[in-house]
Chains A and B, each alone.
Chain A
Amino acid sequence: MSTIAQKRGFGAVLWEYLTTVDHKKIAHLYLFAGGFFFILGGIEAMIIRIQLIKPNNDFVSAGLFNEMLTMHGTTMIFLAAMPLLLGFMNAIMPLQIGARDVAFPFLNSLGFWLFFFGGVFLNLSWFLGGAPDAGWTSYASLSLASEGHGIDFYVLGLQISGFGTLMGGINFLVTIINMRAPGMTYMRMPLFTWTTFVASSLILFAFPPLTVSIFMMMFDRLFGSNFFDASMGGNTIIWEHFFWIFGHPEVYILILPAFGIFSEIFAVFSRKRLFGYSSMVFATVLIGFLGFMVWAHHMFTTGLGPIANAIFAVATMAIAVPTGIKIFNWLFTLWGGSIKFTTPMLWGIGFIPSFLMGGVTGVMLGAAAADYQYHDTYFVVAHFHYVIVGGVVFSLFAATHYYWPKMFGTMLNEFLGKITFVLFFIGFHLTFFIQHFLGLWGMPRRIFTYLPGQGLDTGNFVSTIGAFLMAAGVIVILINIIMTSVKNEKVGNDPWGDGRTLEWAISSPPPFYNFKQLPLVRGLDAYWIEKMEGKKGMIPAEPLGDVHMPNNSFVPFVISLGLFIAAFGVMYQADEGNTWGIPVIILGLAITFGSMLARSLRDDHGYHIHKEDLMDDNDKGVKA
């Protein structure tokens, strides 16, 4: 077991990935699945943009357009951005704190498979009678009125994948709380670890409201309850509140890890420690906290009354302050530094102005009285794509280039990387800048077409052209990935040369047991400290000993599969005359609970890699 990958057949590799509990392999899974869903969401976005290229276009029908935009939003947020971030967290965070693994390797794998099956379930709606069509927010009155099973797919798919995300969150939290290497105090943790920590806490508190509201939606649609049915005493505003109590923290779940990634990149490529580290940490926590106090800024026009609107408006604007602290700290990290314009750094450089613009329009939206104009227009669409694409997606591209060597042992091509950046950056601004104005000129969002003569034609045309540039950028990065994977030139521990944190002190890719001996951390930027003192690597904090490893397991896959099956039963049992629904529910749940029971009855203590084998590995490790 302790000898690392020799050449193995496809079947063996597949089986390895289906059963792996290694955080680095799970990261690959997240990256692959998240990447797939990103392309899917991107194609949906392209369809949206093509439909809107000119007035009265009939590229897609009205109903199909609504399905597209719903699935675009849902896919991008739940199945692309978040999983991709979880992927990088999995790949890097345990290394950054010098942990052997995550706290719950089994749960880690279960979390992935739940997300994956949830996502697959959601997307199967395309083939089984139509996708959800009430927007990613799925506001209750419309989603109750929506015919067919689209919304049921949404509800059940998100429920399943939401459980997975929740598990991922708890797992990261416990890992960070309990498994930091000796000397790695909280205030020595790299910023990406900190943002992982805060984002995971947000997951922990934001997903339960979503879970509850999705359950209620499911009960309403499939089991006859009346939470949102006004004629039975129900109330649709409950859904809105729940969705945004979840939804607003959700956007910070996305952006905080992105902030973390850029914090690492700025420090490394300007060869300077992060300016104002402690205030960065403070700002991160504060953003996380305030993130729970502002949700109603999505509901200014709902009619909550001036008092609530005023309170939430002011609270919303307050978030500008900690975010501003971050922006300026980044700028002053660069200030006085020695900046090298690698591809990850280019994304970072592009990120600052792009995100800034999205952020300030956010504060404009926060001005409740003015939001009556902005709300549900393309101004909002522009705002959130500026923060999400300019912040989160940029960070994902940056992290892909930056961590690719650590994850796969080979560098992505820098030239192609820069081409991707230029195409995507220009395309991005072309697409979304003009949308601010489209909104102000009176274009509501979520419209499948618009009439000529309203002054909206040129803007939409420009916007669509930009989207094509973005697509081209994405295609270049795909080519890049394929090319470099085929070439597969191996790199050493610290391929960027300026690595500061622990993940760069270990081989690329790291051995499956991570650090042979836990490293001793002597300060912030632990690896940098050692390098500056002329040392090659980290000082070990413990003598070489046996390493305890968890066993691979197929059970997470089966548990998730069971829920996937049960979800079909839940959905179709509500159809008139359906007879197989209930049995399928029982079957699915039996698979899930049966495999859970099996797992808990059979003790699995893992195995140990012996000291001697570890010493052998010394030589087999990748040459620097």
Chain B
Amino acid sequence: MKRLAKWRHLLLFSLLTLILSACGKPYLSALQPSGEVAQDQYDLMVLSTSIMVGVIAVVAVIFIIVLVRFRRKDEKIPKQVEGSHALEIIWTVIPILLVLVLAVPTVMATFKFADVSAMDKKNADGKTDALVVNVRANLYWWEFEYPNEEIITSQDLVVPTGEKVYFNLIASDVKHSFWIPAVGGKMDTNTENVNKFWLEFDEEKSDSDEVNNVFYGKCAELCGPSHALMDFKVKAISRADFDQWVSDMQSVKEPKKATSDLASQGQEIFNQSCIGCHAVTPDNTTPEAARQAPNLTNFGEREKIAGVLDHTEQDLKNWLSDPEKYKPGNKMSGTYGELTPDQLDALTEYLMGLKVQGK
């Protein structure tokens, strides 16, 4: 009877694993690593899981034997055993060894991930050869500044694949945490210091069909009502495409002129109500404190609106007419008056046209 139940368990289990492997998305799952850091972390997970499964197996064997063999059959009093030194030594020493097996690669990986010495190596112009991104987390949106390239973008992080990208992380209001599960573990963005770490984005994996060059990023530290919606996207593209993107961005010196009538109406409205917070040029000369809202220079090329809404005109109108509904507690709600449908149309036309790459 009991044994049968165990088998059923096993069956259930294997079924479950089958289902499990089917779930989890390659652009989001830490179990489908797409970069050196995530890969190392995944290896560490596999190692530790194997150890743990081994431990569980040993315990399970003893446990099952005990439950089967030593049920009460009569009223005899069993022998009162005090203990056993030999056994005790065994189950002290073996776990110590197992822990050591896990500890060594853990420590090595910990130091490896913390190695950001490339960020300190400045070349002749006082810049680094390595690609550095300053991440500034704000209540429910992300800003990405490329100090060497002197450009700023928001919400969509653009990075080249196949090389180490270094990050400076800080928060401007409350603490957040910067996490791209498929590419590597998270690091907190504190309010009072800059944290540094690096990630590497795998070329092959990001070019795969399911990923399609876009990884999902998340805020992993409770930061207020819309913590759940503080998503960002990572566009991982080849180095050449990246360089192209950078120069396209750098070429925008002035706010882009609207091309159609509707769009220029939109631009007018924008210049009245929105420009105080939103910049539409990518240069990084504005002081950080004045960067109160996502930079919209390349808004038309975003993956999502405000991190979570689909990038469609309808969603944009929804967002503009009532941001509170889509991101409770966000800092844009109530900062500008009601927008009429006409104004919405105009703004949408204008904003969707904010592109730098003309694709």
Contacts and interface: CB of A to CB of B under 8 A. Distances in A.
Are A and B direct contacts in the complex by CB distance below 8 Å?
yes
A66 B110 CA distance: 32
Contacts of A339: 66-67, 70-72
24 contacts: A139-B175, A142-B224, A230-B192, A271-B77, A277-B83, A279-B88, A301-B185, A310-B110, A313-B110, A314-B106, A320-B98, A320-B99, A321-B96, A325-B88, A325-B91, A332-B84, A339-B67, A369-B110, A369-B112, A369-B185, A372-B41, A373-B45, A440-B45, A441-B28
Given A336-B70, A352-B59, A142 B223 contact: yes
A447 B224 CA distance: 10
A454 B103 contact: no
A450 B23 CA distance: 15
Nearest to A272: B78
A458 B21 CA distance: 13
Interface in A272-286: 272-273, 275-279
A236 to B, nearest CB: 6
A141 B171 contact: yes
Contacts of B65: 335
A587 interface: no
Contacts of B31: 440-441
Given A279-B83, A313-B107, A314-B107, 19 more contacts: A62-B226, A230-B191, A273-B80, A303-B169, A320-B99, A327-B59, A335-B62, A336-B81, A337-B70, A338-B70, A356-B56, A357-B56, A368-B110, A369-B113, A437-B20, A442-B216, A451-B231, A454-B28, A454-B216
A455 interface: yes
Interface in B229-286: 229, 231
Contact of A275 (B44, B83, B219): B83
Interface stretch (A27-35, A358-366, A477-485): A358-366
Nearest to B308: A451
B114 interface: yes
Nearest to A135: B222
B223 A440 contact: no
A217 B223 CA distance: 17
A236 B25 contact: no
Top-6 shortest CB links A-B: A372-B185, A447-B228, A369-B109, A276-B83, A62-B225, A306-B114
A341 B40 CA distance: 45
A278 B82 CA distance: 9
Interface residues of B, number: 94
A389 to B, nearest CB: 18
Interface string B179-209: 1011011111011110100000000000000
A441 B228 contact: no
B175 A454 contact: no
A352 B66 CA distance: 12
B323 interface: no
A444 interface: yes
B223 A270 contact: no
Nearest to B26: A455
B102 interface: yes
Nearest to B66: A334
A63 interface: yes
Contact of B77 (A135, A338, A449): A338
Nearest to A145: B174
A270 B29 contact: no
Please indicate which of the listed interface residues A341, A352, A447 has the most CB atoms of chain B within 10 Å of its own CB. A447
A47 interface: no
A415 to B, nearest CB: 18
A446 interface: yes
Contacts of A451: 231, 308
Interface string B28-45: 111100000010110011
B94 to A, nearest CB: 8
Interface of B: 19-20, 23-25, 28-31, 38, 40-41, 44-45, 48-49, 52, 55-56, 59-60, 62-63, 65-67, 70-74, 76-84, 87-88, 91-92, 95-96, 98-99, 102-103, 106-107, 109-114, 169, 171, 173-175, 177, 179, 181-182, 184-188, 190-193, 195, 216, 218-229, 231, 308, 328-329
A264 interface: no
A574 interface: no
Contacts of B182: 442
A60 B260 CA distance: 43
A219 interface: no
B28 A367 contact: no
A610 interface: no
Contacts of A301: 177, 185-188, 220
A139 B114 contact: no
B60 A353 contact: yes
A609 to B, nearest CB: 37
A360 B195 CA distance: 30
A447 B229 CA distance: 8
Please indicate which of the listed interface residues B19, B67, B109 has the most CB atoms of chain A within 10 Å of its own CB. B109
A620 B195 CA distance: 71
Interface in A454-510: 454-455, 458-459
A145 B224 CA distance: 9
Given A236-B175, A356-B56, A363-B52, A63 B328 contact: yes
A595 interface: no
A100 interface: no
Contact of B185 (A141, A325, A373): A373
Contacts of A377: 220
A120 interface: no
A349 interface: yes
Contact of A303 (B110, B193, B219): B193
